[in-house]
A and B are shown apart, each in its own frame.
Chain A
Amino acid sequence: EVQLVESGGGLVQPGGSLRLSCAASGFTFPRHWMTWVRQAPGKGLEWVANIKEDESEKYYADSVRGRFTISRDNAKNSLYLQMSSLRAEDTAVYYCARGTLFWDSRSGKWYRGGGGVDLWGQGTLVSVSS
Chain B
Amino acid sequence: ELTQPPSVSVSPGQTARIPCSGDVLPKRYVYWYQQKSGQAPVLVIYEDSKQPSGIPERFSGSTSGTVATLTISRAQVEDEADYYCYSADSNGNHWVFGGGTKLTVL
Enumerate chain A interface residues (CB-CB to B < 8 A): 35, 37, 44-47, 50, 57, 59, 61, 95, 100, 113-123
Asked if A115 and B29 make an inter-chain contact with CB atoms under 8 angstroms apart, the answer reads: yes
Asked if A120 and B41 make an inter-chain contact with CB atoms under 8 angstroms apart, the answer reads: yes
Chain A CB within 8 A of B106 CB: no
Minimum CB distance partner of B92 in chain A: A115
The 8 closest A-B pairs by CB, nearest first: A114-B29, A116-B31, A47-B95, A44-B100, A120-B40, A45-B97, A114-B47, A59-B93
Asked if A122 and B31 make an inter-chain contact with CB atoms under 8 angstroms apart, the answer reads: no
Asked if B40 and A122 make an inter-chain contact with CB atoms under 8 angstroms apart, the answer reads: yes
Chain B hits for A121, CB < 8 A: 40
Chain B hits for A47, CB < 8 A: 86, 94-97
Chain B hits for A119, CB < 8 A: 43
Asked if B31 and A114 make an inter-chain contact with CB atoms under 8 angstroms apart, the answer reads: yes
Asked if B52 and A95 make an inter-chain contact with CB atoms under 8 angstroms apart, the answer reads: no
Q: Enumerate 25 A-B pairs (CB-CB under 8 Å) in ascending A order.
A: A37-B97, A44-B84, A44-B98, A44-B99, A45-B41, A45-B86, A45-B97, A45-B100, A47-B86, A47-B94, A47-B96, A50-B95, A57-B93, A61-B94, A114-B28, A114-B29, A114-B46, A114-B47, A115-B88, A115-B95, A116-B31, A116-B46, A117-B43, A118-B52, A120-B42
Given A46-B97, A50-B95, residue A116 in contact with residue B40 (CB < 8 A): no
Chain B hits for A46, CB < 8 A: 97
Chain A hits for B41, CB < 8 A: 45, 95, 120
Q: Out of B40, B46, B88, B96, which one reaches A123, CB within 8 Å?
A: B40
